[in-house]
């Protein structure tokens, strides 16, 4: 990073990857990736200063289609990797892009603990309420009673409500947006990325192949924007919790909750000065002398 | 009279502070220029249960426990009952007058017992110093040390120094003074027995002070010396103390250490940091490693360096948490689906824990793959006095392999960098993320040279998979052959790996002293190895006896895959206890024809081949001599106490 | 003219329904008494990308794909471009008039092309029936089937039957009738080419209808037949369809099936159910299995029966999700810390998937240990027509081993039952929890005969560990030796395991037909095996060629550990594609001296030993002939399309 | 189970195990195990009709000291085992007894999904806010700033609040009790075991060795009983959430929240009649005929 950051204004096109996208025509993920690029451009984050982490699933392919640093890891395991990356180089803008199964199903444990930690990164969940890449099994966010190849009589579990759990668990930024609204997505992603601390954006994502209920058409009349409500205060925990429970005929979009708490990295003493990756790997003689004395 | 060569056992209930007093005495001895090796035996519970601390002292370096004891410091009745059998003739037990000794048993075995009213005196002096009885009683420790110094001829001032140091800023306080007084009293009292006891601890004139480290601390030190700045781990005995040690050193060396939510996260955090270019590690035991298996393969696929320490304990599953064993070798060798390069190192001894862990970080970056460091409970906890010359940590040379320099990165044509470029040695030049000219992705799917997902193309698959696997061939040129110890052309070769190194060496020395020409072939680097060079080494062994802390002779299996060579006999032990040199030598004497006809190989005494069933019995019989009996007693005692 | 022996490839874009029309045609053929084997080749994405369905038909059972194609049904330009090379002289391509064929290329290779205005006609008939263009276009499938029936001489009624059945209750509807009309039209049109095409499909007079099952369905069936009532799993290709199949059958057989939160939970649910006495299983692929490793060891320690299916795909890590490989054998053999008895079975073929999975449940309960069933992507998805006589599921005999009966439980003295009683064969009589006379605990710590935690006592440890490990010896008496196929005393023995069984058999037949005396030694039971019996079997192999779908010859490693025998040559493939018999036969012909001097073993053509590097090259070259070129094209095509 | 269940009244002593307990003198777990026996006796559940599942930790040793069926499994993995057991034999009374690290640390993912499932079993957490068996590292419930061998500068993460997360996540019974109050513990355990569905009891447990802050003396003046408040309605989600957040000077004990929802097992069709373990393993010819036909 000895080169100066170029001064031209980054455009969304700059983040185009060289790969052919393999999502189905009509998939909500197309809109999501476009909005991600938009947000990066808006925040003027150059590709080399961003680090994307993802899991396995349709949505998790996102970083493969992007020009930016990325690590496409394991199903459900993106958050610990993201936090390792952040601790190693806390100036990188770290963004996890994963599916609902990844985030809240197999990844639930890591999610819960990430909320408590407040590491400074963004988690964008492409929440299509279904396991798409494995061909349509129910997911934790599938509506109760959801019929799939593994739940022919309908899913018995009640849904996992990501925004409720995130707020309850200690997230400092919780938002929801919708793959049918490119502008709202881009704006929400930008806010999340700009937030200092752990930011969750749950994206209501259309899967045209496996989710024939929660379609763009289904969402469109139901969603409304909190951003339009001047009275809504996302810093009010109780109000946020109430909104977070809203679902069905009225589905709030926007920033549901914001809190301020020092980030994890800010509180790690060894990171006070330089990012870890830039620190020297060797030590002065005095340091070793002190060490030796302590064990003699 | 034997000078500076003895073993002391300090036994009592968990919580009585045997570890502390043992460590204090060890410290005093090492400051006096003597060498020590010490280990403890403790139960998987927090309070109660019989524990002991075992301290071996030598004029020259000592590397392993002995199974002969010269002096027992008994803090509880169990200590007397359980260790009596281990004392050599002329040995002694120091104990409180309120404990019982069977005079007949002592006489029969020519063992002495020196009794003192430790507790009464400690209470008396403590009361005078205003201490409550609970704390006053703890001065038993100090009293024992005083008495020990006296009968071994060790200078009282050395003990006083350690007591003073332990009190640190509270030096000179009433409590500190009371402790000194108790020690002094015991020292003076015990003088009268000094002439009856044959083993002496005399500070040499040219004594040099050394560090005292256990294996896990040495692993942490190796990591720090190699520039490891990051450890993420989840507590699991006997791996926990690695992160605890590094956390304690974090300020000094500016490290980041992280206790994560589980072991899956532990390795993932480390891989995340490793991907960025921070030397990173995790440490655990077998059960925690089991949870890292999926991510291990991911590191293999994305070619991310990471160092993983597995401190083995007996399993399967939870097994025996505070015990030791060598059951995880094959697991580590083959963990995770399909195939990828990895390195497996099994250090033997404190200095090797240091050196081979440090080396692990170089290997991980040079070959861009996970490196597994395999230790075990016994080695994790056992301490040794070790000279800096044995572990020259200030001089360790960091080699980051094919890492692009800033200048090289600056010179790159943007968009041309290929993280997974094909190369003859399988290693692709590595750019750390963050440079504008080398923006790239890594993926756990099969991928192109640029690191993009490629789940279909068979030609790309074959190229990338072969490239990765080629690193194994390249690695073989650098990996070290097993080491020989003892005379060349021996009739019997003892083969082992990892933490048994010094017990086996001691067995070799004992056997040779008994006129049995034995040597040892010991593995620290286990995988990958050059098959041909290895076969040559093994060809030098006439009668190969495999010595392992597991049931199925795992190293022997590995060696057979490498070379086709199978051991001629096996001494396998899986009772959760470490091997001792004497135990191995005894087994060899009992089970191997140690005097083969000239020009012929050693032969088994009874049958040509030790069958599986027979082998188990042999182990059992051996145990019966020493441990089994004691164990039965230990159980009884524990029951009575709770 | 060749009757009832041909391969048809149906190729197009994912979503065009090649699978459906292929399956429909297969159904019609099997109902007509013919045998089929079919597999598909698809990409790891939901829509788009080139896929194909490959259908082999035989008068006698067919067990594996062929790599010669006689007829291509092209739904897209790629289908023509990619499969042209595979067509035999005289073969044909059926396609829409709107696709391009290179007349020169065809002529050069003596291939015919039969073009029809499928799409136009489908749209026309569809419009008349009131269908929208999208749905009308889908009738392309039906049209292709009609044309295929005509040129192969297959009766139209058979096709009509299947179309009608597909419409089920909607039979007779406008859409159903439109489909029939399209098929009829195509059938009539294609009649004119019938005489030009040499391969015919003629229903035999004595034809018997059979089931069509893929490997994963057969695994599910084996489980159900063996009384498995419970499966918990987490979706992972290619393992997912096991739970999907069992879920679809849950009502019929009163099963409980559970998609869990992850694979850790999947195996834990199954172990919980198994502990209670329900026959229980889980199914996954290597990455999911990686998450089960800790619990696997727990089942080993608590001696809980559980059956785990690993459907392999290429790795490491995520690898190539929709492809196939044999990279997990050593992983499964050694997964989890320390050692415990387990069984590894690798079925080969649909009927073996059934039978060996069923057997797995008996083994799991008889030996109270985890049983691992190792299959792979290719076998998971490939279907075969299989007669009930090959899988007599109604007669499967359930053997629950040393399970205490209600009467025995009633007769027990309360408090005396020992779940982990020592026994000569290592198996302890098992009481299911819930009876008042046999209340007990199981623990993943080392434990007493009663199942109580015992983390300290070495004698207990040795006894329990040896008891568990003794089950391996007992198991060896029941486990099956590898099977021989082909002539005795062959010059060359092909060794393989699992899903390659029939490809290897086909290679043996091809080689013998070419005058090369070859046979096969195939492993389904892999671990544990009796070393001595196995060594005897291997001794019969004069020149042993190892054939595996991995890089490091994993079976060969296992065999070397068992017996010391190493293969003389290896044909290793790791491109994610299944072996075909012809491919193996070609490799043998090219790389093995198939005509050894009398009394001598086969020799490698060029060098005495195929070195690692050379081996890789050989594989590459072989690939280049068939797949590599195509693959390169496929990539290009995919790019152009997206 | 062909023997008739004896008719005498079960006493707590009946559940005494034959093993010597290895907990430290003064450990809160002694009180917990006594209260468990008390609750079993109160509900007259014979040892063979109960099935205990635990993990690894001091608290998880509990079933080893009990006379009752038990499975001492893996650290953090008790809940899936418990649910497998329950699906196999839904008449068994299944009780998981685990530590806070086990339950909410490494086991967080399973916990979150168990809440959604409402399988009919009880989870008793011996919450000493520390990793005791591994010698005192911080746990998810350790107070922020907690100093331990792995957090010498104090834990950075905010605490995991088990009762908040359980209510938010869909538990149908959420209670808290205290190892210093044997009667309250026994009563609370009995209610939890009697509850139809997933029941969480978080027990504030004293660890005399590693937790010198949250001691019996610390808790005693702070805890108060909701059971004493006639106005408190544990069926009121909002009120329960409010109480669940209370901590510090006032710590509510008792049943915080109750909801009614069919249990998981009730909704599994194949379990409608007989427990799975009692069902036949073989099938009638007609069943096989039907099956065969479906694949021909
Ligand atoms: C450990 C593991 N288990 C299972 C899988 C298989 N798998 C791949 S994607 C996926 C679920 C995808 O669902 P989601 O996360 O919602 O992403 P989507 O495809 O819907 O975008 C699963 C189960 C895997 N890759 N790894
Ligand atoms: C997979 C795994 N990781 C780590 C451990 C080591 N371990 C045993 S108990 C324990 C934590 C105990 O804390 P908690 O669950 O709160 O129980 P407590 O001892 O405090 O009762 C740990 C980390 C283990 N047994 N298994
Ligand atoms: S299956 Fe669904 S989520 Fe996946 S690419 Fe297609 S539309 Fe998108
Ligand atoms: S360490 Fe704490 S939790 Fe463990 S037994 Fe002792 S007091 Fe109880
Ligand atoms: Mg999804
Ligand atoms: Mg705890």
Q: What is the chain D residue with the closest CA to C416?
A: D18
Give the Cα separation of A256 and A245 in Å (integer): 11
pLDDT for the residue C41: 84
Which of left, alpha, beta for C631 (phi over 0: left; psi -120 to 50: alpha)? alpha
Of A255 and B17, the structure prediction assigns the larger pLDDT to A255
Give the Cα separation of D88 and C352 in Å (integer): 28
Give the Cα separation of B572 and B463 in Å (integer): 42
The stretch C9-23 carries a mean pLDDT of: 87
pLDDT for the residue B606: 38
For the ranges B368-372, C61-65, C531-535, which has the lowest average pLDDT?
C61-65
Give the Cα separation of A282 and B225 in Å (integer): 7
CA B375 to chain centre: 6
pLDDT for the residue C171: 81
List strands edge to edge, sheet with B211-214: B112-116, B87-96, B69-74, B5-13, B50-58, B35-41, B383-386, B211-214
pLDDT for the residue D8: 60
Q: Is C240 on the interface with A (CB under 8 A)?
A: yes
Q: What is the chain A residue with the closest CA to D144?
A: A116
Q: What is the chain B residue with the closest CA to D209?
A: B46
What residue has token string 């190729």?
Answer: C11
- Residue from C619, C607, C618, C622 nearest C574 by CA: C619
The secondary structure of A160-184 as a DSSP string is P-HHHHHHHHT-SEEEEEETT-HHH
Task: Work out the pLDDT band at B13, boundaries 50, 70, 90.
Answer: confident
The stretch D156-176 carries a mean pLDDT of: 98
pLDDT for the residue B41: 84
Across chain B, mean pLDDT equals 91
Give the Cα separation of B262 and B241 in Å (integer): 16
List, in order, residues 6 or more apart from A95 with CB less than 8 Å away. A36, A50, A51, A52, A53, A121, A122, A123, A124, A193
Of residues C253, C295, C440, nearest to D283 (C-beta): C253
Q: Is C509 helix (H, G, I), strand (E, B) or coil?
A: helix
Task: Work out the pLDDT band at C308, boundaries 50, 70, 90.
Answer: very high
Task: Work out the pLDDT band at B605, boundaries 50, 70, 90.
Answer: very low
The stretch C114-138 carries a mean pLDDT of: 94
Q: What is the chain A residue with the closest CA to C258?
A: A150
Give the Cα separation of C275 and C280 in Å (integer): 9
pLDDT at A250 over 90: yes
Using CA atoms, how far residue B502 sits from B94, C80, D205, in Å, is 29, 69, 45
The secondary structure of C547-594 as a DSSP string is EESSSS-HHHHHHHHHHS---SEEEE--SSS---HHHHHHHHHHHEE-
Q: Is B425 on the interface with C (CB under 8 A)?
A: no
Of C477 and B175, the structure prediction assigns the larger pLDDT to C477
Residue range C434-471, pLDDT digits in tens: 999 999 999 999 999 999 999 999 999 999 999 999 99
pLDDT at C418 over 50: yes
Give contacts of D 256-285 with C, CB under 8 A: 268-271, 276-277, 279, 281-283, 285
Instruction: Report the Cα–Cα distance between both ends of chain D, in Å, rounded.
Output: 42
Q: Give the strand pairing for A93-99 and A50-54.
A: parallel
Domains of chain C: 2-200 (3.40.920.10), 212-389 (3.40.50.970), 406-476 (no CATH), 483-641 (3.40.50.920)
Q: Is A137 on the interface with C (CB under 8 A)?
A: yes
Helices (H), B47-139: 77-83, 103-109, 118-128, 133-137
Give the Cα separation of D138 and D131 in Å (integer): 6
Tokens of C451: 């199942």
β-strand partners of B7: B56
Q: Is B272 on the interface with A (CB under 8 A)?
A: yes
Task: Work out the pLDDT band at A7, boundaries 50, 70, 90.
Answer: low
Give contacts of D 101-130 with B, CB under 8 A: 105-106, 108
pLDDT at C509 over 60: yes
Can you say whether the dihedral through the CA atoms of A238, A242, A244, A245 is positive or negative? positive
pLDDT at B627 over 80: no
Using CA atoms, how far residue A95 sits from A45, A200, B252, B506, C173, in Å, is 12, 10, 32, 56, 53
Taking the CB of residue C174, how many other CB atoms lie within 10 A of it? 13
Q: Which of A24, A125, A129 to mutate to test the pocket of ligand 3 (most atoms within 8 A of CB)?
A: A24
Task: Work out the pLDDT band at C173, boundaries 50, 70, 90.
Answer: confident
Atom 24 of ligand 2: nearest residue by CA position: D75
Tokens of B562: 């490498």
Which of left, alpha, beta for B122 (phi over 0: left; psi -120 to 50: alpha)? alpha
Q: Is B253 on the interface with D (CB under 8 A)?
A: no
Ligand 6 centroid to Cα of residue B441, in Å, is 40
Of residues A56, A108, A209, nearest to C318 (C-beta): A56
CB-based contact A140:D116 (threshold 8 Å) = yes
Give the Cα separation of B97 and B59 in Å (integer): 32
Residue range B527-539, pLDDT digits in tens: 999 999 999 999 9
List, in order, residues 6 or more apart from D158 with CB less than 8 Å away. A116, A118, A170, A261, D144
pLDDT for the residue B70: 97
- Residue from A267, B458, B6, A64 nearest C578 by CA: B458
- Residue from B471, B595, B485, B476 nearest B526 by CA: B476
Residue range C572-608, pLDDT digits in tens: 999 999 999 999 999 999 999 877 555 545 544 433 3
- Exposed / middle / buried, residue A8 (Cβ in 10 Å: 0-12, 13-18, 19+): exposed
Give the Cα separation of D34 and D12 in Å (integer): 8
Q: How far is B474 from chain C (nearest CA, A)?
A: 12
pLDDT for the residue C43: 74
D20-269: CATH number: 3.40.50.970
Of A236 and B642, the structure prediction assigns the larger pLDDT to A236
pLDDT for the residue B150: 97
Number of B/C CB contacts below 8 angstroms equals 293
The secondary structure of A68-122 as a DSSP string is SEEEE--TT-HHHHHHHHHHH-TTSEEEEEEEHIIIIITTHHHHHHHHHH--S-E
Give the Cα separation of D33 and D15 in Å (integer): 10
CB-based contact A206:A214 (threshold 8 Å) = yes
Cis preceding-peptide flag for B238 (omega within 30 of 0): yes
Q: Is D80 on the interface with A (CB under 8 A)?
A: no
pLDDT at C279 over 90: yes
pLDDT for the residue B601: 52
Taking the CB of residue A2, how many other CB atoms lie within 10 A of it? 9
State pTM to two decimals.
Answer: 0.95
ipTM: 0.95
Give the Cα separation of D48 and C441 in Å (integer): 11
Q: Give the strand pairing for B383-386 and B211-214.
A: antiparallel
List, in order, residues 6 or more apart from B268 with CB less than 8 Å away. A73, A74, A77, A80, A81, A84, B295
Contact C31 D271 (CB under 8 A): no
Task: Work out the pLDDT band at B15, boundaries 50, 70, 90.
Answer: confident
CB-based contact A56:A87 (threshold 8 Å) = no
Residue C447 is classified by DSSP as B
pLDDT for the residue C425: 98
Residue range B557-604, pLDDT digits in tens: 999 999 999 999 999 999 999 999 999 999 999 999 877 555 545 544
The stretch A279-288 carries a mean pLDDT of: 97
Residue range C70-85, pLDDT digits in tens: 999 999 999 999 898 8
List, in order, residues 6 or more apart from C295 with CB less than 8 Å away. C264, C267, C268, C271, D74, D77
Does the C-beta of D32 come closer than 6 Å to ligand 4?
A: no
Across chain C, mean pLDDT equals 91
Task: Work out the pLDDT band at B618, boundaries 50, 70, 90.
Answer: very low
pLDDT for the residue B610: 33
């Amino acid at each position: 990073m000895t080169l100066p950051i170029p001064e031209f204004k980054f455009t969304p096109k700059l983040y185009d990857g060289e790969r052919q996208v393999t999502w189905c025509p009509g998939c909500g993920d197309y809109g999501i990736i476009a909005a991600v690029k938009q947000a990066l451009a808006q925040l003027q984050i150059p590709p080399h200063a961003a680090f994307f982490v993802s899991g396995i699933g349709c949505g998790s392919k996102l970083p493969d289609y992007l020009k930016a640093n990325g690590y496409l890891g394991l199903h459900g395991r993106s958050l610990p990797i993201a936090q390792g990356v952040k601790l190693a180089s806390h100036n990188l803008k770290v963004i996890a892009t994963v599916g609902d199964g990844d985030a809240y199903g197999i990844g639930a444990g890591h999610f819960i603990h990430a909320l408590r930690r407040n590491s400074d990164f963004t988690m964008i969940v492409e929440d299509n309420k279904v396991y798409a890449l494995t061909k349509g099994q129910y997911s934790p966010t599938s509506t109760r009673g959801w019929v799939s190849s593994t739940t022919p009589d309908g899913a018995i579990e009640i849904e996992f409500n990501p925004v409720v759990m995130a707020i309850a668990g200690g997230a400092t930024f919780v938002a929801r947006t919708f793959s049918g609204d490119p502008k709202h997505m881009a704006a929400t992603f930008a806010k999340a990325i700009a937030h200092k601390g752990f930011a969750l954006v749950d994206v209501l994502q259309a899967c045209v192949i496996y989710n024939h209920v929660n379609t763009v058409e289904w969402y469109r009349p139901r969603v409304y924007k909190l951003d339009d409500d001047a009275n809504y205060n996302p810093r009010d925990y109780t109000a946020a919790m109430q909104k977070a429970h809203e679902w069905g005929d009225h589905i709030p979009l926007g920033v549901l909750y914001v809190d301020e708490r020092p980030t994890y990295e800010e509180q790690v003493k060894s990171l006070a000065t330089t990012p870890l990756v830039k620190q020297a790997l060797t030590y002065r003689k005095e340091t070793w002398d002190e060490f030796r004395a302590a064990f003699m | 009279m034997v000078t500076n060569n003895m073993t002391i056992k300090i036994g009592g209930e968990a919580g009585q502070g045997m570890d502390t007093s043992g460590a204090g005495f060890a410290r005093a001895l090492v400051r006096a220029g003597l060498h020590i090796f010490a280990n403890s035996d403790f139960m998987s519970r927090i309070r109660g249960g019989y524990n002991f601390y075992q301290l071996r002292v030598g004029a020259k370096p000592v590397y392993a426990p002995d199974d002969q004891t010269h002096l027992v410091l008994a803090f509880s009745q169990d200590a007397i009952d359980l260790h009596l059998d281990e004392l050599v003739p002329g040995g002694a037990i120091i104990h409180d007058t309120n404990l019982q000794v069977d005079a007949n048993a002592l006489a029969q075995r020519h063992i002495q017992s020196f009794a003192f009213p430790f507790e009464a005196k400690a209470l008396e002096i403590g009361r005078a110093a205003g201490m409550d009885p609970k704390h006053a009683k703890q001065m038993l420790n100090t009293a024992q040390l005083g008495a020990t110094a006296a009968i071994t001829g060790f200078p009282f001032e050395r003990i006083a120094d350690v007591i003073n140091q332990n009190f640190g800023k509270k030096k000179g306080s009433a409590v500190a003074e009371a402790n000194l007084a108790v020690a002094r009293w015991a020292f003076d009292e015990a003088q009268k027995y000094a002439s009856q006891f044959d083993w002496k601890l005399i500070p040499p004139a040219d004594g040099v002070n050394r560090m005292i480290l256990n294996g896990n601390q040495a692993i942490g030190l190796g990591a720090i010396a190699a520039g490891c700045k990051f450890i993420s781990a989840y507590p699991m005995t006997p791996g926990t103390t690695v992160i605890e040690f590094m956390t304690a050193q974090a300020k000094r060396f500016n490290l980041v250490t992280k206790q994560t939510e589980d072991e899956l996260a532990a390795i993932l955090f480390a891989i995340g940091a490793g991907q960025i270019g921070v030397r990173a590690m995790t440490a655990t035991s077998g059960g925690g490693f089991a949870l890292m298996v999926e991510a291990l393969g991911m590191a293999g696929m994305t070619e991310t360096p990471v160092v993983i320490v597995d401190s083995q304990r007996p399993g399967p599953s939870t097994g025996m948490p505070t015990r030791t064993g060598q059951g995880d070798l094959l697991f580590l060798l083959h963990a995770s689906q399909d195939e990828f390069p990895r390195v497996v190192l099994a250090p033997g001894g404190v200095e090797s824990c240091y050196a081979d862990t440090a080396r692990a970080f170089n290997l991980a970056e040079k070959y861009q793959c996970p490196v597994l460091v395999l230790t075990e409970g016994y080695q994790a906890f056992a301490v040794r006095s070790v000279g800096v010359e044995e572990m020259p940590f200030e001089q360790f040379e960091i080699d980051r392999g094919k890492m692009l320099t800033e200048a090289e990165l600056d010179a790159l044509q943007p968009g041309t960098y290929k993280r997974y470029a094909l190369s003859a040695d399988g290693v692709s030049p590595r750019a750390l993320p963050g440079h504008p000219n080398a923006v790239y992705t890594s993926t756990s799917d099969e991928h192109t040279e640029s690191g993009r997902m490629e789940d279909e193309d068979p030609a790309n698959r074959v190229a990338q998979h072969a490239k990765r696997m080629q690193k194994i061939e390249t690695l073989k040129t650098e990996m070290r052959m097993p080491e020989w110890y003892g005379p060349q052309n021996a009739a019997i070769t003892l083969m082992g790996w990892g933490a048994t190194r010094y017990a086996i060496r001691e067995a070799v020395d004992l056997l040779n002293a008994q006129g049995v020409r034995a040597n040892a072939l010991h593995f620290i680097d286990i995988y990958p190895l050059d098959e041909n060079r290895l076969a040559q080494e093994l060809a030098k062994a006439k009668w190969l006896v495999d010595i392992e802390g597991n049931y199925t002779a795992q190293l022997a299996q590995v060696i057979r895959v490498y070379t086709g060579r199978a051991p001629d006999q096996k001494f396998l032990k899986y009772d959760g206890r470490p091997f001792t040199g004497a135990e191995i030598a005894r087994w060899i004497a009992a089970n191997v024809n140690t005097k083969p006809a000239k020009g012929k190989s050693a032969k088994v005494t009874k049958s040509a081949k030790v069958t599986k069933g027979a082998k188990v019995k042999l182990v059992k019989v051996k145990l019966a001599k020493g441990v089994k009996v004691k164990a039965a007693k230990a159980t009884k005692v524990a029951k009575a106490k709770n």
